[in-house]
Structure 1
Amino acid sequence: MSLSDPLSFFDVKGKVALITGASGAFGAVAAEVLSAAGCKVVLAAGNADAMADVADKCTGDVHQINARPSDEATCADMVAKTVEAFGSLDILVVASGMNKVALINDMEPETFTNVMDANVTQSWLVARAAAAQMKAQGQGGKIVLMSSARGLLGHPAGYTAYCASKAAVDGMTKALGCELGPTGITVNAIAPTVFRSPLTAWMFEDDDKAKAVRSGFLARVPKGRLGEPEDLAGPLLFLSSKASDFYTGHILYADGGYTAG
């Protein structure tokens, strides 16, 4: 790479990327962006039909695994199938997770446990499996986790499980960044605020309820708008490429300035 060819820092052509939660909003963005940039992508998701729709939007080599990172054996199998399909694993994007909203006295303990498991334990398990493969390859690697502005900020409307889980992802990102840094593996997280997805589409509508909720929220966003999927594309490509080789343990807020004020 050379400073006279700055775009080469972002070149991921030929790299192999495993994306968990590939049927979700962020997973779909990751799949489309990395495949368009020249990666060979392995999509992993529990919803096979939705994953197939994402695969149709990808260019180049795509492999699909109908599974969630639910346990140690499944995560090891995801990594093994990635290597079997394309020969290596260079990038891991953990886009899987969940949220259940309820006030603390209305939330069942099992629900809290399920959110923590999906967002924290499963992220840890698949990162663990990927790190072992990347270390064995001896060429470093990129691990990108999915956090949220809610890992830093609370929320009054029943987000105790989600906020706690994303704060844990932030801590995991920093700890793994320190632990894996000497191996050449970087670990970073993207932390968006509200961005357009099937779950948040109602907030972008023009009805009175959506306008009221959006108005209150946007009062805290210096950029004056909600996020779009393409707002996640640049941060993802940066964290997946050599451009971020000296960045690890970072939480990159894709939030229009929401957490700055």
Structure 2
Amino acid sequence: MSLSNPLSMFDVKGKAALITGASGAFGMVAARTLAGAGCKLVLAAGNLAPLSEIAGECRASGAEVHEVNARPNSEKAADALVAETVKAFGAIDILVVASGMNKVAKIDEMDLTAFQSVMDANVTQSWLLSRAATRQMKVQGMGGKIVLVSSARGLLGHPAGYTAYCASKAAVDGITKALGCELGPTGITVNAIAPTVFRSPLTAWMYEETEQATAVRNGFLARVPKGRLGEPEDLAGPLLFLASRASDFYTGHILYADGGYTAG
């Protein structure tokens, strides 16, 4: 590979990408990033209205987009999403699993159903989609890129009722590392992006100049060397890196997009 044009290593133009959870905060970042980079997209989500909105936005930017109103919540559903990608674009080159959820409760107040729902959404769906994509990528014989979504909470605990979420993201880290080892010889890379707090509809209140938001934000920022909360664009660069051949020698990695939060 020549280094005379290093930006070519980040070229994903024409690649077929499946993004699940495309109507969520990270899913929308992934959709906008890969659409802007020239990928052909299959966008999947269970929430139809925001799915249609992000699909329309990506089409307006010039991307080819196929939208599927579905969640990968079973073997059949996960396999169908990969098959839909192949049907639409002839292959699947990139998988981004941005689907997931959190339910916050102290352990003595959380029931098993709630705990299991978080594990199913974050862990089982990541595993099912990785399996489905791996099978197809092996058939194609051209390698591929699998990007999972973890969190700083996969490494660090949290005092406010995050037992389910922390456990689920630690499990995603384990899947990432195990598959990185397992699939190394195939040319399929498996990595995870692990954000801390970044701006989204769910966290917008933390960015407001209210007394409560300021207190919470200042407490959090005391642990962030960069001295600010995250923005969506802070996730775009890492995603493009992991989705492109620039990361061909990187697999089984958890890439923390956290302003240094986990460093200290």
TM-score (norm 2): 0.98
Are residue 230 (structure 1) and residue 233 (structure 2) matched? yes
- Structure 2 gaps, min length 5: none
SS at match of 1:116: helix
How far, CA to CA, are the matches of 1:54 and 1:181 in structure 2?
Answer: 33
CA RMSD in angstroms, aligned pairs only? 0.6
Are residue 170 (structure 1) and residue 193 (structure 2) matched? no
How far, CA to CA, are the matches of 2:57 and 2:25 in structure 1?
Answer: 13
SS at match of 1:98: coil
**1:94-151 Cα distance to aligned partner (Å, 9 max, x none):** 0000000110011111100000000000110011001100000000000000000000
Are residue 113 (structure 1) and residue 121 (structure 2) matched? no
**Runs of at least 4 residues off by over 6 Å:** none
How far, CA to CA, are the matches of 1:150 and 1:242 in structure 2?
Answer: 28
Could you tell me which of 183, 204, 208 is aligned with 2:207?
Answer: 204
SS at match of 1:2: coil
Could you tell me which of 139, 142, 147 is aligned with 1:144?
Answer: 147
How far, CA to CA, are the matches of 1:259 and 1:134 in structure 2?
Answer: 33
The equivalent residue for 1:156 is 159
The equivalent residue for 1:260 is 263
How far, CA to CA, are the matches of 1:180 and 1:48 in structure 2?
Answer: 34
How far, CA to CA, are the matches of 1:87 and 1:202 in structure 2?
Answer: 42
SS at match of 2:108: coil
**1:181-238 Cα distance to aligned partner (Å, 9 max, x none):** 1110000000000000111111001110000000000000000000000000000000
Could you tell me which of 90, 96, 105 is aligned with 1:87?
Answer: 90
How far, CA to CA, are the matches of 1:44 and 1:216 in structure 2?
Answer: 36
Are residue 221 (structure 1) and residue 224 (structure 2) matched? yes
Could you tell me which of 55, 74, 83 is aligned with 1:71?
Answer: 74
Letter in 1 for 2:127: W
The equivalent residue for 1:251 is 254
How far, CA to CA, are the matches of 2:78 and 2:225 in structure 1?
Answer: 39
Q: What's the % identity of the aligned pairs?
A: 77
Give the C-alpha shift of residue 27 in structure 1.
Answer: 0.3
SS at match of 2:189: strand
Give the C-alpha shift of residue 56 in structure 1.
Answer: 1.7
Letter in 2 for 1:54: I
For 1:13-32, list aligned pairs within 5 A.
13-32=13-32
Give the C-alpha shift of residue 31 in structure 1.
Answer: 0.5
SS at match of 1:105: helix
How far, CA to CA, are the matches of 1:108 and 1:197 in structure 2?
Answer: 28
The equivalent residue for 1:41 is 41
SS at match of 2:252: coil
How far, CA to CA, are the matches of 1:100 and 1:166 in structure 2?
Answer: 13
Give the C-alpha shift of residue 48 in structure 1.
Answer: 1.1
Are residue 103 (structure 1) and residue 103 (structure 2) matched? no
Are residue 7 (structure 1) and residue 10 (structure 2) matched? no
How far, CA to CA, are the matches of 2:173 and 2:241 in structure 1?
Answer: 18
How far, CA to CA, are the matches of 2:107 and 2:82 in structure 1?
Answer: 37
The alignment covers a number of residue pairs equal to: 261
Are residue 187 (structure 1) and residue 184 (structure 2) matched? no
Give the C-alpha shift of residue 2 in structure 1.
Answer: 1.5
How far, CA to CA, are the matches of 2:57 and 2:246 in structure 1?
Answer: 26
TM-score (norm 1): 0.99
Letter in 2 for 1:201: A
